Chain A
Amino acid sequence: MLKNLYQNHLLKYPKTVLAVMAVFVLIMTVFAFKLEIDASAETLLLEDDKDLEYSRDVIKRFEAPNFLVVTYSIEDDLLSEKNIKNIKMLGSQIQKIEIVESINSIINVPLLQSPPQPIKELVKNIPTLQTPNIDKELVKKEFLNSALYKQNLVSDDFKTTAILVNLKRDEKYFSLINERDNYIKLKKERVLTKDEKSSYEKTSLELKKHRDILRERNHFSITEIREILQDFESTHKGIKLHLGGVDMIADDMIEFVKYDLRIFGSIMLLLLIAIIYLLLRDVKWVAIALLICTVSMVITSGVLGILGLEVTVVSSNFISLQLIINMSLILHLIVKYRELQEKHPEETQENLVLNTVSLMALPSFYVVITTVAGFSSLVFSGILPVINFGWMMSLGSVISLFITFIIFPLSLIFLKNEKPNSSLVEKASFISKVARVVDNYRKTILFVTIFVALFSITGAMKLRVENSFIDYFKQDTYIYKGMALIDQKLGGTTPLDVVLTFKEQSDEVETIKVAQDEDNAELDSFSDEFEEKEGDKEQYWFTQNKMQKIKEVHDYLDSLEAIGKVLSLSTTGEILKVLNGGKEADGLTLALMYKELPIEYKKIIITPYIDIKNNQARISTRIIDSLPKLQRDELIKKINSDLKKIVNPKYEEYKVTNILIMYNNMLQSLFNSQIKTIGAVVLILFLMFLALFRSFKIATVGMIANVIPVGVVFGFMGWMDIPLDMMTTTIAAIGLGIAVDNTIHYIYRYKIDYKESGDAVGAMYSSHKSIGTAMFYTSTIIIVGFSILVLSSFLPTIYFGLLTAMVMFAAVVGDLLLLPVLLLIFGV
């Protein structure tokens, strides 16, 4: 049937088909430009994460803006006239940028202890560094010792200071998120009406558009800030400037991903071409492979553009992956074609082409369908970027299959049947040696396999997941240096907040029962006056009880090694204590401070830490990301269990929140879903093997020959203490998806040869020589191709490249050594 299709249509009108293809590719090119890249943090977070919603709410209520940090390092005196002037100038330049709301630096923060004075006096007129005749020695002392500023605004060596760039809050963005989330919630409860559905779609689309605009604006602004910093650095000798902050990291990640996508996509293509040429020594094959890969890429990108699937950090390597899958398909066709050509040199080109495609169609179809099965298991992960990655790869594989089977025969039809300039048999000498190893060392191979399996299992048990922003970048990069400076000297990187809620009139809080008494008549005459009134809450909120509890939590968090700067109302309390002659400030003092402090200072030292309306206090911290061996999930669990002991659930509630929690949730669910989906992948692939070869024995053998090599990577990662992150968690699915391809090709071929000769060992030798050669070629290409990713500056890409190369190596070793041994032992 397939032969007919080729004979009567495709090969009959090759020029027409090619012309139609060309037009189609042109159209798809237009859509390919619509393919979007979004590596922002937002895309990685779980859509229906309650913690995410809570975190957004907390940021809104406590008016804690997103911020960037500019570090200013010098070797001389930070408080010299020159430096003050410089910081002021830098601040005013950055302030002009569109997304910037305000700047806090040593220039404008309130100085509360320079000199120490009674709170009543202080509140009247709070000095800053710009106040005339300020005593700079005192200021320096305050910066280095104040609970608020030390290791936060200035480093301990007083050589580095932070300029905090507070970013504007985009209300439209958050209201769109809210609106969309409401629809998502509603959707879970019931089926949406037609109107609701259309406005849900409209909101989602608008959100996406708005997010794109914001991202552009953010990126533009960050670039602008970097330019300002560069200009400044070049005109001011001896000053080192760095930029940091979660928003910048997210933006840089996008840039790295984009860069890798562009550079490694094309480097890999060139590399693949070079290898094909080296192996086959024929420009013809290079040209055909290049044509097929390009067309497949363009069409896939076009389809993704039409579907609106975005490339994220997780899927950033889809182009490289698809190239490899495609190249493997092409190589198998080439090897088959040349094999037939050698066997039947008298055949016409058309017949050779026809036989090649019709003989390879079934195994290739199997290969692609199993790859799709492997990748579509990612759909069960529940994490949008991972799901999308699964779709992208599935789609890409199918497109590659079709394009290869259209363009490969068509291009060959136009070419003459030339005798190959080198024989495959010569090339196959290495593979023949491998076949001899299989024949002679069966027991050794099995023994090594058991050893490898043990290594993998023990290693895999040590696996952990970790998301460390700072570890995404190489230590010698500019961005790493800036982040490390902020991380180690200015209080840490990833934000983690604890929100304390004080219960007031809950059922659990007992009210005291009142006994009526004659003597109380006088007291009762005052009762109205001292009833709690609506407007009273703000003034009488600051009780010793609350302060005490905040302090307990604050001090606890501060005691943890992994936590950098801790800021809360307790910090303000500490400063007031100093001003109060060592005594803790009483409620009256705090209430007066809250009422009288000018708003600009209130925004720095009070409002980010309390929400009186909701009876909440926020203790804000940053995690020291560069701390070696930091285990975030463990840390969060420890904080949760320790806080349970500190907080009395009858009167207070606590919740940990912010970016650390959201990323941890994402990774944990990724990890859990991986464990589940790996099970699903193995099962699906097993069933496919069963369907393809109709033999329980072969299916089992095939799975063993794949699962053990893929397991090696996890064993390796566990033993080397490389944590799984959002990119490496997908390796298992990718590894299995690609590795089974070779297995299918091999078993398929082995069965045919065995059927023809009835000699198992002979079939093994001949399969190695033919399909084994193709497998060896494709795997070499894949391994070298992925190794190239080591040149990236983005560590997730490097790990991904190395580990995938390793899976592929293990897989081809498994297919050429273990699989034949198992087939020889168990038969087919």
Chain B
Amino acid sequence: MRKIYKRILMLLVATLFAQNLAANEQVELKEHFLNKINEVILIVEDKKLSKNDRNGNIVKSLTPMFDFELMAKLSLGDAWKELTKENKERFLKLYVERMKQSYSAKIDAYKDEKVEVKKMEQPQPNRIVFVTDLISKEEKLEIVYKFHKPKEKINAKDSWLVYDVEILGVSILKTDKAQFKEFLQTKSITELMDVLAKQS
């Protein structure tokens, strides 16, 4: 009987500890995330820099937080698994380049706005979701950041990495996935890469 109590007690302690740990992880990540955002806002507001420099700095600052490689793979879905090694490398490069360009430009358009994390979730031990509001004078824009923690830390990257962003419920990754899927129905991966190359 005692043994059982002891076991339950241990289990409870363990869970509590784990939850605590998880909560700590979330708080830490939130702090890191907000710091990053502030860093980016500072860059955006720095009118001394040229637009190109600004974008370059934004990319530099955000890149460690994003898992572009994973996004590239997921965006292709099952088609990724079919690619040759060379194509995989070329696609990754092109996708990452496109991401950086496209989103640095988008972020640059934001002015006088604040980011507030209004909800944090951890659906799996290695996934964290931040529901944030981008608050401007007139209204709020809901943006969801999805993080994952790779088994092994990737060089020059944070330990938690963003793998998808949802703006007002529209997932960037899913958008790309839908685009690529349809494109690949009628055309080849080489053609897709050519288009991506043209875009960047």
Contacts and interface: CB of A to CB of B under 8 A. Distances in A.
Given A539-B169, A543-B179, A592-B170, A523 B185 contact: no
Interface string A498-528: 0000100000011011110100101100100
Interface stretch (A117-125, A308-316, A326-334, A806-814): A117-125
B77 interface: yes
Contacts of B74: 523, 526, 530
A587 interface: yes
B146 to A, nearest CB: 8
Contact of A536 (B78, B138, B164, B174): B174
Interface string A541-576: 101111000000000000000000000000000000
Interface in A567-589: 586-588
Interface in A643-660: 648, 650-651
B13 interface: no
Contacts of A514: 78, 81-82
B179 A595 contact: no
B36 interface: no
Contacts of B141: 120
Q: How large is the interface on B (under 10, 10 to 19, 20 to 34, 35 or more residues)?
A: 35 or more
Given A512-B82, A514-B81, A545-B186, A540 B168 contact: no
A510 B182 CA distance: 11
A118 B109 contact: yes
B17 to A, nearest CB: 25
A596 interface: yes
B177 A530 contact: yes
Contact of B178 (A125, A510, A540): A540
A591 interface: yes
Nearest to A513: B82
A545 B170 contact: no
Interface in B162-180: 163-164, 167-179
Given A515-B82, A530-B173, A595-B168, A648 B183 contact: no
B18 interface: no
Contact of B81 (A520, A539, A545, A592): A520
B174 A539 contact: yes
B177 A587 contact: no
B186 A530 contact: no
Contacts of A125: 138
B81 A591 contact: no
A120 to B, nearest CB: 7
Interface in A667-703: none
Contacts of B109: 118, 120
Interface string B107-148: 001000000000000000000000000000011010000000
B184 interface: yes
Contacts of A513: 82
A596 B186 contact: no
A569 to B, nearest CB: 15
A355 B186 CA distance: 86
Interface in B55-81: 70, 73-74, 77-81
B24 interface: no
A124 B139 contact: yes
B79 to A, nearest CB: 5
Interface string B17-45: 00000000000000000000000000000
A522 B15 CA distance: 26
Contacts of A544: 179, 182-183
Contacts of B183: 543-545
A120 B141 CA distance: 10
The residue in A118, A510, A515, A526 that gathers the most chain B C-beta atoms within 10 A of its C-beta is A526
Contacts of B79: 512
B64 to A, nearest CB: 20
B61 to A, nearest CB: 21
Contacts of B163: 526
B51 to A, nearest CB: 12
Contact of B168 (A124, A523, A530, A592): A592
B186 A648 contact: yes
Contacts of B167: 588, 592
Contact of B172 (A124, A509, A588, A596): A588
A530 B172 CA distance: 11
B102 interface: yes
B179 A545 contact: yes
Contacts of B168: 592, 595-596
A89 B51 CA distance: 47
A591 B179 CA distance: 12
Given A124-B139, A509-B185, A651-B186, A540 B175 contact: yes
B178 A595 contact: no
Contacts of B171: 539
B186 A539 contact: no
A591 B82 contact: no
A651 to B, nearest CB: 5
Contacts of B82: 512-515
Nearest to A648: B186
A588 B170 contact: yes
Contacts of B173: 530
A648 B172 CA distance: 28
Nearest to B127: A529
B178 A543 contact: yes
Nearest to A547: B179
B117 to A, nearest CB: 21
B178 A523 contact: no
A743 B102 CA distance: 85
B15 to A, nearest CB: 23
B185 A588 contact: no
Contacts of A595: 168-170
Nearest to A510: B185
Nearest to B178: A540
B184 A588 contact: no
Contact of B179 (A124, A587, A592): A587
B111 to A, nearest CB: 9
A546 B178 CA distance: 11
A586 B176 CA distance: 9
B186 A512 contact: no
Given A543-B178, A543-B182, A592-B167, 7 more contacts: A520-B81, A526-B70, A543-B183, A586-B179, A592-B170, A595-B170, A648-B186
14 contacts: A124-B139, A125-B138, A520-B81, A529-B164, A530-B174, A539-B175, A540-B178, A546-B182, A587-B176, A587-B178, A588-B167, A588-B172, A592-B168, A651-B185
What 5 pairs across the A-B complex have the smallest Cβ distances? A540-B178, A545-B182, A587-B175, A543-B182, A543-B179
